[in-house]
Amino acid sequence: MKRFPLILLALGLAAFTSCKDKPAAGQVESPSAAQPAVNAPAPSQDVVKPEYMTAAEGAARTTVEWFAEEYNYGTVKEGTVVEYQFKFKNTGANPLTLTSVKASCGCTTPSWSKEPIAPGKEGFINVSFNTKNREGVQSKTVTVTGNFDNEVNKVLRIDGVVEKG
């Protein structure tokens, strides 16, 4: 009886450690799933983009000059609402359209120029950050999507320190 558990352990260990890569007798080895066949088609790249991305990518591109891309508000007391206006100028030849402006969290609220900005004209993105219950070092971002020349997304940052109020 004492040898019965040892026999079971040995059989279990032998089954567990047997080579899984070698085919059993009489079976033909199949190609590994980790190594795709040489002429296999590429995996599907059907990624559905949000409408605001396709609108920005499909519009005529233009160049933009940002007067500031980051704003450090320093140190404020918890509960303060920090506000900043990011300004930019359309320096290109085509109208600039902002198709989306999204904050990194619900405590940050953006508002922006909704109409297309003509070449040579300026636009804005107002950012409001409510510091309530946000004690410590803070860094919030606003992702702006538009028909920018280099890329369709621009990330603006607002950061500082919030002290207990």
According to CATH, what is the number of the domain 61-163? 2.60.40.10
Q: What is the Cα–Cα distance from 111 to 86, expressed in whole angstroms?
A: 10
Residue 61: CB partners within 8 Å, gap ≥ 6? 92, 94, 147, 148, 149
Q: Which of 68, 64, 49, 61 is nearest to 142 (CA)?
A: 68
pLDDT (0 to 100) of residue 40: 54
Most confident of 5-9, 28-32, 144-148: 144-148
Percentage of residues of the chain with pLDDT beyond 70: 73
Domain ranges of the chain: 61-163
Q: Which residues contact 141 (CB under 8 A, 6 or more apart)?
A: 103, 104, 155, 156, 157, 158
Interval 37-55 mean pLDDT: 73
